[in-house]
Amino acid sequence: MSQLPTEAQRRRRTPVFSTSPDGAVNITTNCPDQLRELFGTQTREAAFSLMHSAISALGKSGENDRDLLAAMAVEIEPRDGIEAMLVVQMTATHTAMTEMTRRMVDTSGGYQVRESLERSITRLSRTYLAQIKALKKHRAKVQQTVRVERVTVKSGGQAVVGNVQHGGRSQHEG
């Protein structure tokens, strides 16, 4: 008797992509919530839209990179919609950067073509690094915790733990 996979195991599975003769991309999933779990979104609609935009960003020549997109979602494990969007953007940026690199290596176009491709690669590389930084910054905010080890209050003193806000001056103050 086989055991049912846990949610974490199901989440790690990637959808299967195929292309129909008319060029439509078909996505086969194991369960209705597989894309939602893959992208860490609250709704199926958000997950479906992210997958659609990712496939569109990869373009017609990106058929071989679809599996990379799903695999990166498994690797990075986005926890919310913002992280999922960054995974999609990072994968598209990486794919574009490697495509430009391939074109540069294979070019017979001369100096100007090669220089233009190098500039594009540099811009894409900077964009990719900015996306990584944004992901780290977003995750740091989500995971930020404050731990108080010791609080000492002397006789007659008061200790406040939590958010303290100053309300400003009231209208009755002089």
DSSP string, 74-130: HHH---SHHHHHHHHHHHHHHHHHHHHHHHHHH--S-HHHHHHHHHHHHHHHHHHHH
pTM of the shown model = 0.71
Q: How many other CB atoms sit within 10 Å of the CB of residue 55?
A: 18
CA distance 49 to 37: 14
Q: Supply the pLDDT for residue 109.
A: 84
End-to-end CA distance of the chain: 79
Q: For residue 99, what are the contacts with CB-CB under 8 A and spacing of at least 6?
A: 61
Which amino acid is it at 143? Q
- The predicted pLDDT at position 1 comes to 47
Which residues touch 112 (CB under 8 Å, ≥6 apart)?
Answer: none
Distance, CA of 122 to CA of 128 (rounded, Å): 10
pLDDT, position 170: 57
> What is the per-residue pLDDT for 173?
55
Closest C-alpha among 106, 105, 38 to residue 77: 38
| Average pLDDT, consecutive stretches of 10 residues, N- to C-terminus, the chain (174 residues) | 51 79 87 92 94 88 85 93 96 94 90 94 97 96 69 76 62 57
